Structures are given as C-alpha cells and as structure tokens.
Amino acid sequence: MTVKPRRQMSVQFSGGEPTLSPYFLDSIRYARDIGYFAVQTATNGLRFAEEPGFAQQAKDAGLRMAYLQFDGVTNEKNAHRKIGNLFDVKLRAIEELAKVGIDVILVVTIVNGVNNDQVGDILKFAIENADKITVVSFQPVSFTGRDEDIDDESREKQRYTLSHLAHDVKNQLGVSEPMRDWFPLSALGPFSDLVDHLLGKDADWGSMKCGCHPNCGVGTIFMVNKQTKEMVPLTAFLDLEGLLSDIGSITDASQGKAITIAELSMSLLKNYRPESAPKGYKFADLLKQLLSQTGARGGKIGDYEDDAVEFPWRVLFVAGMWFQDLFNYDFRRTEMCIIPYGTQMGEISFCAYNTGVGWRNIVEKMLANASVADWYRKHGRHPVYAKGQDLELPEYFNPITAKIDGQPIKLKVLNG
Ligand code: SF4
C-alpha cells in the first residue's frame, strides 16, 4: 500500500503494542519519508524502558511523539495491569523518550469511581515534569468489547464524560474554569485555515486540521514555566473566542502575507490580557509557540519541530476524547470522525472500527494472513507479564530525573 498525503495529519501506529512489530521502525521511516511530520506511536512503554537505545532508534527513524498508556502516579495505581513496578517502568520509558527528544503524551483511561481521583495527581505530575511531557490525553471509559455486557447500574456508576473531566481538573487542581478554559477540539479550525493561508497555495502541505464533533473531543491549554513550574491556563490571559473569531475574518479577507500578519498581531494584542498573564511571559513567545505547535513556524511544515527548548514556558495541552459505545452511539459523530483507521478497505472511524460487532472483526478476518499460533511459530512469542511481578530493567547510567512534589522519585527496583 502506498500513500501520498497533501494535508498534514497525525499518523499514529497502534495495536496491540506496536513496538512489538518487526516492522515498527520501518513503518515510522516510511511515514516520515512520504512527508508526514506528526508521526506517533501508542505504547505501553515497556520496550522503551527495557531496551537501552531503542528510543534513539525510534527517534532516528522519525518518531516524534509517544502516546504512553498511563494510569496513575504510583505503582499501586497501576497494579491492575499486573506488573508490580509498572510506574517505575513508565518513568524509565519517559526518561529515555525525553532524552532523545520524543514528545511524551500521557494517555489516561478514566473510569468513574475507579481512577477519576487521579486526574489532579496526573496533571501535577505532568506540570512538574513539563520538560518531558507535552500533552495529557484523558479518555473516558467506553463500554465496548467484553465491557458491553456491563449491567445498567454499574454502567451508570462508572460512566465518565468530558464535563466530569473539566470539573475534576478544576476541583482537584484548584486551577482553571470549566466554562472559560475548555473548547471543542474543532474550535482550533480557524487557526489551521490561517496557517494554510500564510503558507500559500503552492505549499507542499496543508496544515493539520481537526474537525471532530464537539461531543467527541475537548481541550485546554496550560502554560507551564519550566523552572518555577508555575502554571496558568492560556485562556486566563487570552480571549481565545475573540481571537478565533478575528482569525476567521482575517483568513476570509485573504490579504497578502504582510497584511495578514499585521492583522493577526493586532488581534492578538486586542485579545491579550497582560494584567492576567504570568510574570515574564513574552507575547512574542506566545505567537511563535502557537505557530510551532501547528508546524507552521518557518518556511514549511516541520521546520521547527525541535524548538521547544527555546522557550522558558512550555505548552501543556490537556485533551479529552470520549470514545463512543453502543449505549451512546451517534452517527453524526462518526461522520465527523478525525481518528480513522487506515485499512485496505479505506478509512474507518475509530469508533465504528471498535464498537459493537465493529469493523475490526470484519477487516481483521477478511485480511488475516496468519493465525496467532502461526505468528508465534514464525516470530516467537512475546513475554507475558502477570501476577503483579516486578519487571526487571537493565542497568542504566542516567538516573530518573522526573520528580513528584519537588522530590526525586523513590523507585521500587533500584537498578531501574
Ligand atoms: S474516534 Fe472519532 S467518532 Fe470516536 S470519539 Fe474520536 S473523533 Fe469521535
């Protein structure tokens, strides 16, 4: 299969655990070779922690972001994954990924009454280690697969929505306002249009654009000072609604680049509230960081992909995506899906692929070229971790530098 993209998209390799595939590095290389710049992998982090040098190989192949499954900030809060020292393992993975410049995105599945009390602690961890972690993505539980058999009472108790998330962030962190600071992901669309306009019609690539249904995804942006760990919601000092509305008009006016940038600067000044901005925060950095996040800084997309080190303030994006299940399925959401699987049958919405009978079962059966047993015979069986045993890690010479409450973290396995 060959792909020739024109608009930038995030390409994410998922699984199972994609790092187990013998084609993992080649796939990343291919995605970069054909021009995608936001190349990501979903991962449990085990291989990055267990194999010294693997993060560097992934970086050299072109991996930009790791979506790291992350359930809580202690080994106990990760115990349900059946590895006794799983939090320590995640810390080592984060260390190795960050060391080579791969952005770490913490991905947290939230179940009401099970781990929603971890929202604040996970965000505090991300803020404190904002030099390594750029995004926290919360994914409220979706009752699919074997969870479809859940009884009504348990389902209602465990149901968690994006509104719960916005309120838990405020209640547990003591910062942010649900009605002021959270936006549908698609609200950023005008910004992509502006970037397209600035790059011009002859650009090799269109910018990334996210147009999902407002019930699917929401996000908020915190600015975090790398030194002091001070954290302020961007929308506390920037009227984002006003800015996005201005950007729509500026792009529609379709003026030349110099006038467009002058109009944009005026709009930013109009919507910027310096009295609420953190001390020492520079307006110019805000502009550069926003352009960099969309890949539009410089002459072409991706020119400044490693520029985060330049800024004293880091952007921490907190997002939520509420994957559907059969109890709340909405075809309008599926039609607007921004997370399609690329399959031999064409693009299929993530929710349509995984929910109910699901396209996954159809596509995987139609195109299977080996049974699991055949695969194990040919490639060997990957290790299975169970019974809460600790995972032994190799000896590393660089220590874990992530901290909690300003203190180094005491690891369970000393050589980890
Ligand atoms: S995967 Fe697609 S349809 Fe499902 S919640 Fe996300 S954007 Fe919506």
* Residue 405, pLDDT above cutoff 50: yes
Among protein residues, the one with the nearest Cα to ligand 1's atom 1 is 350
Q: Please state at what angle helix 54-61 crosses helix 24-33, rounded to 10 degrees.
A: 30
The one-letter code for the residue type at 204 is D
- Confidence at residue 137, expressed as pLDDT on a 0 to 100 scale: 97
Average of pLDDT values for 268-289? 84
For residue 412, the cross-strand partners are none
Choice among 195-199, 291-295, 317-321 with the minimum mean pLDDT = 291-295
* Ligand 1 atom at shortest distance from the alpha carbon of 213: 8
> Which of residues 182 and 370 earns the better pLDDT score?
182
- Confidence at residue 416, expressed as pLDDT on a 0 to 100 scale: 42
* Ligand 1 atom at shortest distance from the alpha carbon of 349: 2
Choice among 67-71, 89-93, 105-109, 309-313 with the minimum mean pLDDT = 309-313
Q: Determine the Cα–Cα distance for residues 66 and 97; give it in Å rounded to an integer.
A: 8
- Confidence at residue 161, expressed as pLDDT on a 0 to 100 scale: 97
The fraction of the chain above a pLDDT of 70, given in percent, is 93
Average of pLDDT values for 43-61? 97
Confirm if 195 and 296 have CB atoms less than 8 A apart. yes
Among protein residues, the one with the nearest Cα to ligand 1's atom 8 is 216
pLDDT confidence band for 415 (50 / 70 / 90):
very low
Average of pLDDT values for 350-363? 89
* Ligand 1 atom at shortest distance from the alpha carbon of 351: 4
Q: Determine the Cα–Cα distance for residues 123 and 137; give it in Å rounded to an integer.
A: 10
- Confidence at residue 215, expressed as pLDDT on a 0 to 100 scale: 95
Test site for ligand 1: of 9, 139, 160, 349, most ligand atoms within 8 A of the Cβ: 349
Give Rg (Cα) of the chain. Answer: 22
* Residue 85, pLDDT above cutoff 50: yes
What residues does ligand 1 touch, defined as CB less than 6 Å away? 212-213, 216-217, 321-324, 333-334, 337-339, 349-351
CA angle 213, 217, 221 (to 5 degrees): 130
pLDDT confidence band for 77 (50 / 70 / 90):
confident
pLDDT confidence band for 123 (50 / 70 / 90):
very high
* Residue 153, pLDDT above cutoff 60: yes
- Confidence at residue 52, expressed as pLDDT on a 0 to 100 scale: 95
pLDDT confidence band for 4 (50 / 70 / 90):
low
Mean pLDDT of all residues belonging to the chain: 89
Test site for ligand 1: of 337, 347, 353, most ligand atoms within 8 A of the Cβ: 337
CA of 340 relative to ligand 1 center, distance in Å: 8
Average of pLDDT values for 72-81? 87
pLDDT confidence band for 409 (50 / 70 / 90):
confident
Average of pLDDT values for 249-269? 91
Average of pLDDT values for 322-329? 95
Average of pLDDT values for 317-342? 95
* Residue 414, pLDDT above cutoff 70: no
* Residue 395, pLDDT above cutoff 60: yes
Choice among 25-29, 211-215, 356-360, 364-368 with the minimum mean pLDDT = 356-360
Confirm if 322 and 140 have CB atoms less than 8 A apart. yes
Query: Which sign does the torsion angle of CA 121, 123, 129, 135 carry?
Result: positive
* Residue 303, pLDDT above cutoff 60: no
Q: What is the residue whose two structure tokens read 């595939």?
A: 21
Q: Determine the Cα–Cα distance for residues 267 and 247; give it in Å rounded to an integer.
A: 8
